[in-house]
Amino acid sequence: MEDLYQPEQVRLWHWVEARARKILEGAGFQELRTPVIEEAGLFERSVGEHTDIVEKEMYTLEDRNGKRLALRPEGTASVVRAFVEHFTSHNVSEGRFYYQGPMYRYERPQKGRFRQFYQIGVENFGSNHPLVDAELIALGHQFFKEVGLEDQVELQINSLGSSACREKYRNALQEFLRTVQQDFSPETRERIQHNPLRVLDSKEEAVQNHLQKAPSILDFLSTEAREHFAEVQWGLKELEVPFVINTRIVRGLDYYENSVFEWKAARLGAQNAVAAGGRYNHLVKDLGGPDVPGVGFALGMERVVSLIPPERLGRDPTPRVYLMGLDSQANRELFFQLRELREAGAQVYLDVEGTSLKSKMRRAAKWEADWAIISGPEERGKGMVMFRNMKESTQEEIPADEILSRLLSKFPTKTFLL
């Protein structure tokens, strides 16, 4: 797990989050915040008992009453649980929600994989129409375009068909893999027995070589599933969203069917999926709700942010004002300036330490102040303060009651909020 502490890094996270929020709320999605701890059975029923997430990666614990709990390893199951509790229980069978926050998986240490990781996700309940899938995917495309990553990520799509189609393909793939499993690692051979679809994600060279001859999921789609997938592709083309079909995409969660999709960034190496999702038409019912279809996706904040150079944001345009009192009385008088300046839109730092002016100036420069307001016995005796431009190293005396008006004259009103 990692700390976020560098100002430019935190600011970049805020920037990405703000753009996602703007896009999603503009499409009619409302934010839903769920607990980071749920009953472990929620994820076992939804994600799947034989998935890597549940078998190897989920953090579980017992409370004092012996109830099994888990730190959420993904967001969809929690959102579905909340949708069932708070909406379908009141006969509301549709909804658009987005969420953001930390997820937890006991990942093997490697670059870009943290055991606490952040996601922004969206879930759309109430329609099985393929154009809903296309619309949702287009929102992801809009996001990557908004943050300047449109040319760095590739959208890959696939269809798993219905649960019946998927089961037929699972059996065919399992039968094929058993004929070549002698070349695979023990871990992969175990996956063949319990969750053969996950073998398609294997990075083993021997596995990838044999998969060239593996059956394709598209050969097992029903007529209805083929039509659904064709309509999704039509919708993406109409919205000018570029994509490629990748029949290896199956996703690591048991609840997906029909549309599945990922955005991948070649720069990230082996762990290159920056966002992914798909359709899940039975999950709401499986978790105790009515028979309501759904589709959604989530993006990984750490991977998205790693692709964006901090300099893209430039310097924060908010004026930074450093207040320096040279004695206790000056500290008190400058203290009264804090609220007014901050309410006007500035970032304000009041230095009340009893050190020299030279030390205060060094701290102001380290803080990257734009302006310094200096007050001491000499200035106070004249009813003035020293108004210093830190970037140009120039200064002038101004009346103490004109601090705000002088700052407003230096910055556009769109920065200072009157």
Which residue's entry shows tokens 């970037």?
391
State yes or no: pLDDT of 55 exceeds 80: no
> Is 228 inside any structural domain?
no
Residues 263 and 131 in one domain: yes
> Taking a C-beta distance cutoff of 8 angstroms, is the pair 388, 370 a contact?
no
Domain count, the chain: 3
Q: Where are the alpha helices (DSSP H) in 27-117?
A: 40-46, 52, 76-86
> Is 226 inside any structural domain?
no
Residues 211 and 76 in one domain: no
The closest of 407, 409, 418 to 319, measured between CA atoms, is 407
CA distances from 330 to 22, 279, 322, 327, 367 (A): 43, 63, 13, 5, 21
If pLDDT is split at 50, 70 and 90, which confidence band does 49 have?
A: low
Mean pLDDT is lowest, of 49-53, 323-327, 380-384, 403-407, for 49-53
DSSP, res 109: P
State yes or no: pLDDT of 176 exceeds 80: yes
What is the domain-level CATH number for residue 397?
3.40.50.800
> Is 237 inside any structural domain?
no
> Is 95 inside any structural domain?
yes
Higher pLDDT, 31 or 205: 31
Q: Look at residues 284, 311, 338 and tell me which one is the last residue of a structural domain.
A: 311
Neighbours of 312 (CB within 10 A): 10
What is the predicted pLDDT for the residue at 266? Answer: 85
What is the predicted pLDDT for the residue at 415? Answer: 47
What is the predicted pLDDT for the residue at 144? Answer: 97
> DSSP for 263-328?
EE-GGGTTS-EEEEEEEESSHHHHTTS-S--EEEEEEEHHHHHHTS-GGGG-S--S-EEEEEESSH
CA-based angle 241:278:164, to the nearest 5? 125
Q: Which residues constitute the domain of residue 47?
A: 7-160+243-311
Distance in angstroms (rounded) separating the CA atoms of residues 305 and 4 = 12
State yes or no: pLDDT of 89 exceeds 60: yes
What is the predicted pLDDT for the residue at 75? Answer: 94
Helix (H) or strand (E) holding 404: helix 403-410
Which residue's entry shows tokens 């009453």?
65
> Is 1 inside any structural domain?
no
> Taking a C-beta distance cutoff of 8 angstroms, is the pair 23, 137 a contact?
no
Q: Look at residues 258, 283, 311 and tell me which one is the last residue of a structural domain.
A: 311
What is the domain-level CATH number for residue 105?
3.30.930.10
DSSP, res 94: -
Over range 283-307, report the average pLDDT.
94
Over range 116-139, report the average pLDDT.
96
Q: Is 177 exposed, middle or buried (0-12, 13-18, 19+ CB in 10 A)?
A: buried
Residues 82 and 144 in one domain: yes
> Is 233 inside any structural domain?
no
Residues 288 and 324 in one domain: no
Residue 221 falls in which region: left (phi positive, over 0), alpha (psi -120 to 50) or beta = beta
Higher pLDDT, 183 or 263: 263
State yes or no: pLDDT of 360 exceeds 90: yes
Residues 53 and 193 in one domain: no
The closest of 225, 251, 202 to 76, measured between CA atoms, is 251
> Taking a C-beta distance cutoff of 8 angstroms, is the pair 184, 204 a contact?
yes
Residues 18 and 41 in one domain: yes
> DSSP for 163-218?
HHHHHHHHHHHHHHHHHHGGGS-HHHHHHHHH-GGGGGG---HHHHHHHTTSPPGG
CA distances from 70 to 86, 331, 379, 392 (A): 21, 50, 62, 55
Residues 25 and 106 in one domain: yes
Residues 197 and 296 in one domain: no
State yes or no: pLDDT of 212 exceeds 80: yes
Q: Look at residues 311, 338, 367 and tell me which one is the last residue of a structural domain.
A: 311
Over range 304-310, report the average pLDDT.
90
Residues 273 and 396 in one domain: no
> Is 415 inside any structural domain?
no
Residues 14 and 134 in one domain: yes
Residues 67 and 202 in one domain: no
Residues 69 and 214 in one domain: no
> Is 417 inside any structural domain?
no
